[in-house]
């Protein structure tokens, strides 16, 4: 069976549960607005900063589509990033560790954006006993000249775990890391600019999170409590890449070399994956298992991250469940693998997690098949409602649906949810019909490029 056949098999599994039906997100603004663009409504200068897309758990970058045919942003039927370039936007998508912590992923994204050696920091690498440096991207900057001047900025778009990763990257590009600076001084070593604490500006202008796992996923906690997380990882990878006939392909760059985990030249991929999942790395608090749990969010390793007061943040949720008599149930349009997950989250109740007491039952039970609405709206720092029709078919209708006031800085502006859209569908990963996400991504770029520079 070839790659195309395997991908289409996955597509047909998705079809078995129904094709996703786009439903407009209710707008928060007045349809009578006379302005034709967001720039006019917001009184903004707009910006042309490059936009960097950061993938989620088990994701991959643009340079190497999965099995050579599957784009993370658009699936097999669409290349969303290429379409955005055709519209004049400067976009790129690094490949960060598919199972790594947000800290490591932020460092890897920065190295690829700037074209430098990946530096995980002296304090961090010492604390966890791994190497300080990772892959070298010298000479291959995705955004040449980034951070060379204070006017050199980027916008960020992140999906799933890419949401908290981009939030941490923005934090470091605003505040730096005092711990890393202190460690560099003590070691008389040169510190990465990512960790510098004397920055006078944030180098991130706008952030947009799609189904971001900002407050963790209770499904992570459920799986870890029942020793099922590793098996779920394997099943999700199998859905993406097919059967073991691809066992000898170097499918992912796991970017775990700093942990001493690299795939041997003749080592089958699933043998390598099994070795990773049976290693001590799994038990460390520096991986996706820890960072995506609701239980781990109070840890100092995660709780220090805060928003930049000069950056504008947006969030968008997927929604693939119906709330009935206190529980949420997967809709027929849900991808088949995520349907039982959606039901599990939709009935979840655990009094030991204090975060579950801070929101309504509906907030934590309505979900996209992996992430609850409460988590995808914002971190615990809160959000402002900013209803806008993210599926508008034109810039003028997008502007007409927007609130008359500009979005607030330093806090997540929640634009709403995409109904009938699950965690994979929101990026078009298994779309058979091309173009289902075109308006959404066009509008995301319109929104963040309409922010003042």
Q: Is 250 inside any structural domain?
A: no
Q: What angle do CA 148, 150, 156 make, to 5 degrees?
A: 90
Q: Is 70 inside any structural domain?
A: yes
Q: Is 260 inside any structural domain?
A: no
pLDDT digits (tens, 9 = 90+) for 26-77: 444 443 345 589 999 999 999 999 999 999 998 999 999 888 889 999 999 9
What residues pair up with 155 in beta bridges, in sequence order? 51, 206
Q: What span, in angstroms and rounded, lies between the C-alpha atoms of 97 and 388? A: 33
Section 422-438 average pLDDT: 94
Least confident residue range of 148-157, 267-276, 339-348, 428-437: 267-276
Q: Which residues constitute the domain of residue 327?
A: 3-223+290-448
The pLDDT value recorded for residue 5 is 35
Percent of the chain residues past pLDDT 70, beyond the cut? 85
CB 345 within 8 A of CB 219: yes
The phi-psi region of residue 66 (left if phi > 0; otherwise alpha if psi is between -120 and 50; otherwise beta) is beta
Placement of tokens 């199998």 in the chain: 238
Q: What span, in angstroms and rounded, lies between the C-alpha atoms of 375 and 217? A: 7
* 342-to-121, 193, 339, 373, 422 alpha-carbon distances in Å: 37, 41, 5, 12, 9
The pLDDT value recorded for residue 180 is 98
DSSP string of 208-272, one letter each residue: EEES--TT--HHHHHHHHTT-HHHHHHHHHHHHH-SGGGTTS-------GGGT----TT--HHHH
What is the CATH classification number for the domain harbouring 65? 3.40.50.1820
Q: What span, in angstroms and rounded, lies between the C-alpha atoms of 181 and 293? A: 29
Q: Is 258 inside any structural domain?
A: no
pLDDT digits (tens, 9 = 90+) for 160-182: 999 999 999 999 999 999 999 99
Contacts of 2 (CB under 8 A, 6+ apart): none
Contacts of 134 (CB under 8 A, 6+ apart): 104, 107, 108, 111, 117, 118, 119, 120, 255, 257, 258
The pLDDT value recorded for residue 133 is 98
Q: Is 443 inside any structural domain?
A: yes
The pLDDT value recorded for residue 253 is 87
The pLDDT value recorded for residue 16 is 35
* 369-to-32, 95, 126 alpha-carbon distances in Å: 36, 24, 37
Least confident residue range of 73-82, 131-140, 262-271, 388-397: 262-271
Q: Is 82 inside any structural domain?
A: yes
The pLDDT value recorded for residue 268 is 82
Q: Which helix (H) or strand (E) holds 47?
A: none
Count of residues in the chain: 453
pLDDT digits (tens, 9 = 90+) for 137-167: 999 999 999 998 878 999 999 999 999 999 9
The pLDDT value recorded for residue 430 is 87
Per-residue pLDDT at 7 exceeds 50: no
User: What's the predicted TM-score (pTM) here?
Assistant: 0.91
The pLDDT value recorded for residue 111 is 98
CB 288 within 8 A of CB 101: yes
What confidence category does residue 200 fall into, taking pLDDT thresholds of 50, 70 and 90? confident
The pLDDT value recorded for residue 256 is 96
CB burial class (10 A; 0-12, 13-18, 19+) of residue 36?
A: middle
Domain count within the chain? 1
Per-residue pLDDT at 19 exceeds 60: no
pLDDT digits (tens, 9 = 90+) for 321-377: 999 999 999 999 999 889 999 999 999 876 656 666 678 889 989 999 999 999 999
Section 420-426 average pLDDT: 96
Q: Is 237 inside any structural domain?
A: no
Q: Residue 42 carries which DSSP code?
A: H
The pLDDT value recorded for residue 150 is 79
What confidence category does residue 421 fall into, taking pLDDT thresholds of 50, 70 and 90? very high
pLDDT digits (tens, 9 = 90+) for 230-251: 666 667 666 666 544 555 567 7
Count how many Cα atoms sit within 13 Å of the Cα of residue 384 in the half-sphere of its side chain.
15
Contacts of 446 (CB under 8 A, 6+ apart): 38, 395, 398
pLDDT digits (tens, 9 = 90+) for 92-137: 999 999 999 999 999 999 999 999 999 999 999 999 999 999 999 9
Per-residue pLDDT at 24 exceeds 70: no
CB 125 within 8 A of CB 113: no
The pLDDT value recorded for residue 15 is 34
Q: Is 263 inside any structural domain?
A: no
Section 264-283 average pLDDT: 86
The pLDDT value recorded for residue 359 is 82
């Amino acid at each position: 069976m070839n790659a195309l056949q395997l991908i289409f098999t996955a597509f047909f599994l998705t079809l078995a549960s129904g094709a996703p039906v786009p439903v407009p997100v209710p707008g928060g603004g007045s349809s009578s607005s006379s302005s034709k663009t967001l720039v006019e409504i917001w009184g903004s200068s707009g910006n042309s900063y490059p936009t960097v897309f950061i993938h989620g758990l088990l994701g991959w970058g643009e340079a190497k589509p999965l099995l050579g045919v599957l784009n993370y942003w658009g699936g097999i039927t669409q290349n969303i990033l290429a379409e955005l370039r055709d519209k004049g936007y400067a976009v790129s998508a690094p490949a960060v560790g598919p199972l790594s912590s947000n800290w490591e992923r932020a460092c890897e994204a920065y190295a690829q954006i700037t074209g430098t050696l990946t530096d995980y920091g002296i304090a961090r690498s010492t604390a966890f006993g791994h190497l300080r440096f990772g892959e070298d991207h010298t000479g291959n900057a995705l955004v040449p000249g980034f951070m060379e001047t204070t006017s050199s900025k980027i916008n960020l778009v992140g999906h799933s775990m890419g949401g908290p990763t981009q939030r941490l990257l923005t934090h470091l590009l605003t505040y730096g890391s005092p711990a890393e600076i202190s460690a560099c001084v003590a070691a008389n070593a040169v510190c990465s600019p990512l960790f510098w604490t004397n920055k006078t500006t944030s180098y991130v202008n706008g952030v947009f999170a799609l189904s971001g796992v900002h407050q963790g996923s209770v499904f992570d906690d459920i799986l870890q409590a029942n020793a099922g997380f590793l098996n779920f990882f394997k099943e999700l990878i199998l859905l993406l890449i097919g059967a073991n006939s691809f066992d000898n392909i170097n499918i992912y760059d796991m970017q775990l070399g700093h942990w001493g985990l690299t795939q041997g030249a003749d080592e089958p991929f699933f043998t390598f994956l099994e070795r990773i999942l049976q290693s001590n790395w799994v038990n460390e608090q520096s991986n996706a298992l820890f960072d995506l749990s609701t239980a781990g969010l109070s840890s100092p390793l995660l709780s220090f991250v805060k928003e930049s007061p000069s950056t504008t943040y947006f969030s968008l949720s997927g929604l693939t469940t119906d709330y009935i008599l206190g529980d949420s149930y997967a809709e027929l349009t849900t991808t088949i693998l995520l349907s039982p997950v959606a039901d599990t989250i939709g009935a979840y109740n655990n009094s030991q997690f204090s975060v579950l007491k801070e929101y309504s039952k509906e907030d934590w039970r309505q979900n996209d098949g992996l992430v609850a609405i409460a988590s995808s709206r914002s971190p615990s720092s809160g959000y402002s409602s900013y209803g806008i029709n993210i599926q508008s078919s034109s810039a003028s209708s997008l502007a007409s649906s927007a609130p008359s006031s500009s979005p607030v800085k330093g806090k997540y502006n929640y634009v709403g949810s995409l109904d009938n859209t699950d965690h994979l569908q929101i990026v078009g990963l298994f779309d058979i019909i091309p173009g289902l996400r075109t308006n959404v991504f066009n509008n995301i770029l319109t929104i963040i490029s309409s922010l003042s520079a």
